[in-house]
Structure 1
Amino acid sequence: MKKRWIVLDGSNIMHWKGNGADLATVREVTRRLGEMGYVPCVVFDANAGYKLNNRYQDDAELAKRLGLPSARVLVVAKGTIADEIILSAARDQNARIVTNDRFRDWADQHPEVEEEGHLVRGGYRSGRLWLNLPDEAP
């Protein structure tokens, strides 16, 4: 069976509960996506570790904390714009992107962000995770 890759904007998702950065939120989203048959890959801004634990955390450390193989987690280098990496990775893998970012500044280079279903919104309602995927109603 063909893998259904999906790219997660980890730095966006970790704020979905609205009370600061929380890696448990990203962990719950990756778990749910895995249960739905997706292969989640997570991209974080360089400062994600500082927002989570007041110190730098690399790919391997965040992967371990998420329970994912380190090859599926990327903390971009300082000075690198994570959005560009997220968009390119999704294009390369023909994958959707889980984020509440609209990537409007990137629409010229990545017109797919305006296609229905390419960007998967999500969040929490009454403490329960929802993802706007065809496999699951919001």
Structure 2
Amino acid sequence: MGKGKVLVVDGNNIAYSASQSGIPQVQTLRAAIRSLRNNDYRPLVLVSAALIHNVDEPDELQAMISAGDIIQVSRGQNDDLAIIRMSQEKYADIVTNDRFLDWLDRYPWLSSRVRRYRLTPSGIILV
């Protein structure tokens, strides 16, 4: 893993973002992680416990979790809140296209830490 800036990544948001069918895609997560690392970021990718039951490649997602490439939020824990707390703890930006509207009153600093992204064939570009 690179020694660059830590980014907390909303894995659910990325997995669903390229899906035409509504089924989240592990390939999109892989490409996002690879492109962020290639640009000297250290992505901390968090996904909900439920995502593994919905993705196109559950075994591959489990392998990525087991390898430490992805952090699975505990069952029953709100993944948005886990992402926000990790961002706060690491003082890191959050890569997502979610606006976290339900959390802005409680965490007013949040809007300044959200980094939007665009998908490309090779991964993601931060915008």
| Alignment TM-score, normalising by the size of structure 1 | 0.76
Q: Which consecutive residues of structure 1, in runs of 5 or more, have no partner in the other structure?
A: 133-137
Structure 1: distance between partners of 2:5 and 2:39: 10
Opposite residue 125 of structure 2, the aligned amino acid is L
* CA drift at 1:97: 0.7
Structure 2: distance between partners of 1:33 and 1:3: 10
**Matching of residue 122 in structure 1 with residue 114 in structure 2:** no
Structure 2: distance between partners of 1:11 and 1:38: 19
Cα pair distance change 1:41/1:130, threshold 3 Å: closer
* CA drift at 1:18: 2.7
Structure 1 vs Structure 2: percent identity of aligned residues?
A: 25
List structure 1 runs of 4+ shifted beyond 3 angstroms: 127-130
Number of the residue aligned with 1:61: 63
Q: Secondary structure at the match of 2:30?
A: helix
Q: Secondary structure at the match of 2:16?
A: coil
Among residues 119, 126, 131, which one is paired with 2:125 in the alignment?
131
Number of the residue aligned with 1:38: 41
CA contact (8 A) 2:14 2:29 kept: yes
* CA drift at 1:42: 0.8
Structure 2: distance between partners of 1:85 and 1:92: 10
Structure 2: distance between partners of 1:78 and 1:46: 5
Q: Which consecutive residues of structure 2, in runs of 5 or more, have no partner in the other structure?
A: none
CA contact (8 A) 1:7 1:42 kept: yes
Higher relative contact order (CA 8 A, sep 6+): 2
Among residues 50, 70, 73, which one is paired with 1:73 in the alignment?
70
Opposite residue 131 of structure 1, the aligned amino acid is I
